[in-house]
Amino acid sequence: MNRVISLYLPNWPIDQLRRAAGDTAPSADQPLVLASRQQNRRTVTAACPAALNLGIRPGMALAKAQMLVPGLSIHDAAPAEDEEGLHRLALWILQRFSPLVSADPPDGIVIDSTGADHLHGGEGAMLDAIIGRLAMSGVEARAAIADSWGAAHALARHLARSTFVAERGRTLFLLSPLPLEALRLPVTMTADLRTLGFRTIGDLHRQPRAPLALRFGPQLARRLDQALGEMAEPIDPIQPLGQIEARRVFAEPIAAAETIARYIGKLVTTLCAALEARGLGACRLDLLVHRVDNRLQAVRVGMALPTRDARRLTRLLCDKIETIDPGFGIETMVLVAASAEPLAMKQAASSLVEAARPDISGLVDTLANRIGGRALYRMAAVASDVPERSVQRIPAMAPDTGSGWPDHWPRPARLLARPDPIETMALLPDHPPASFTWQGVRRRVRRADGPERVFGEWWKRDAELEAVRDYFRVEDEAGERYWIYRAGDGEDPATGSHRWFLHGIFG
């Protein structure tokens, strides 16, 4: 069963206007509306949250809005530009999150996440990543993932949550309490249903279909079936111009896994030849599978480095065949290089000149596509004296940053994510503790070295202007070594709380 994400942009025209205006845009606290002319008067088509809080609503006469809020900032609505911006945003999501993306005007985007969510750490992590990236760009958004486009559309717009992951098979339970407007019905039809006493989708579902179809036509039943996943609602994905692809149309539909694997190999060979002609290597491949029942499925694989190794790419795609449901048969397969980068030919290393460096990119690609790209990383040093800030995660095949940790003082093999408070007994401020209690166990210190004084990064935070830590390496009677510190210099209360913490464990 496919999983569909509906991305709802409640303030899309306003957000796009602010992004386009940049530094000259009105502040978030200033009431802002978009207006357009309808017949012989101008009306409000969109309003920012500040304007909504002051009583302005879309559809209100602009003259009335100006009377309610003197000094209201007014801009002309541009529906064509809004739709074009929505299309550009869908292309951005296509490049980064899923191969099946389509604009859902006027304020949404629909995404088929099947076969792509594992690359982002799962469905919840994928939603958080989308919402977070949009928030960093100044776009307010909510997202929901469900078993159908209609269900995801309803949950994203009628639940007060930034993200929502619907459990599989519980669509009816989740949609039943939602209002009739969640079914994407015409306004006049919704008003007529409310006149008849219907309030929620559950009320509608419990009624016989025949009288409703006789009164309202087939659209009501179709929208209800689409929301419940009982009727297909295919996504017509956008396709960027100039993308490199290989296509195969079958005279007879195919369904066997062996046949699918054979044609995947042929498509990869054709695609790699096209990439080589342009001097490119694939960083991400999308396999689009068109079934005879008009359903579309997609498989996405990513690579750590650009490549056009046909054997490796074929193996990565064939590992995902089990996620493809051929149904009654596949009539078309399309392989797309969703992301490609320049890839120059390299001279192979000769043992007479230099030793060949082992290439582990194939292993990294295999693991990343099985467990998720976010779960595979390596650690790198950061130029920071504060220990918990001196480490960062970087992609597994990222180039060496060239930076390292300070070597004048040893660092523990295991650094705790957060320093753990300990109880200590120390004779003098500059002396290490004679004993300390951690996790309910008292440990007597046999040897110690220090202190190593670490100052706060005052250029980043004013609160760290006088912050000080004194670190000690201590060894207990059992021979276990720990990295502990005192917050403060032991004398001035402004430098820290003078409490003791355990921050690391030596191997």
Q: End-to-end CA distance of the chain: give it in Å, rounded.
A: 48
Alpha-carbon gap, residue 82 to 86, rounded angstroms: 6
Of 13-17, 101-105, 199-203, which range is least confident? 13-17
Alpha-carbon gap, residue 437 to 448, rounded angstroms: 16
3-state secondary structure string, 361-375?
HHHHHHHHHHHCHHH
List CB contacts of 337: < 8 A, sequence separation 6 or more.
243, 244, 245, 271, 275, 280, 282, 284, 285
Tens of pLDDT, residues 51-88: 888 888 888 888 888 888 888 888 888 888 888 889 99
- Give bridge partners of residue 164 from the DSSP assignment: 144
Tens of pLDDT, residues 317-365: 999 999 899 989 999 999 999 889 898 776 665 565 666 677 788 888 8
> Quick one: pLDDT at residue 398?
81
SS3 call for 494? helix
Only one residue has tokens 């279909």, namely: 209
In 3D space, the residue among 227, 224, 237 whose CA is nearest the CA of residue 149 turns out to be 227
> Quick one: pLDDT at residue 413?
84
Q: How does residue 144 score in pLDDT terms, banded at 50, 70 and 90?
A: very high
pTM of the model: 0.72
| Maximum Cα interatomic distance, the chain, rounded to a whole number of Å | 90
Alpha-carbon gap, residue 48 to 30, rounded angstroms: 9
Instruction: Report DSSP letters for 147-205, one per residue.
Output: SSHHHHHHHHHHSS-SEEEPPTT-HHHHHTTSBGGGG---HHHHHHHHHTT--BHHHHH
Q: What is the mean pLDDT of residues 157-184?
A: 92
Alpha-carbon gap, residue 476 to 437, rounded angstroms: 11
Tens of pLDDT, residues 386-402: 888 888 888 888 887 77
Tens of pLDDT, residues 461-496: 887 888 899 999 999 999 999 999 999 888 888 888
Q: How does residue 22 score in pLDDT terms, banded at 50, 70 and 90?
A: low
Buried b vs exposed e over 99-123: b needs ≥16 C-beta within 10 Å? Answer: bbbbbbeebbbbbbbbbbbbbbbeb
Tokens for 4, please give them: 């569909």
Mean pLDDT of the chain: 87
> Quick one: pLDDT at residue 311?
94
Only one residue has tokens 């059992």, namely: 478
Cis amide leading into 451 (omega within 30):
yes
> Quick one: pLDDT at residue 407?
66
Residue 18 contacts residue 25 (beta carbons within 8 Å): yes
More reliable by pLDDT, 405 or 156: 156
Phi and psi angles of residue 81, each rounded to the nearest 5 degrees, phi first? -70, -35
Instruction: Report DSSP letters for 372-430, one per residue.
Output: -GGG-EEEEE-S-SSGGGSEEEEETTPPP------SSS---SEEEEEEEEEEEE-SSTT
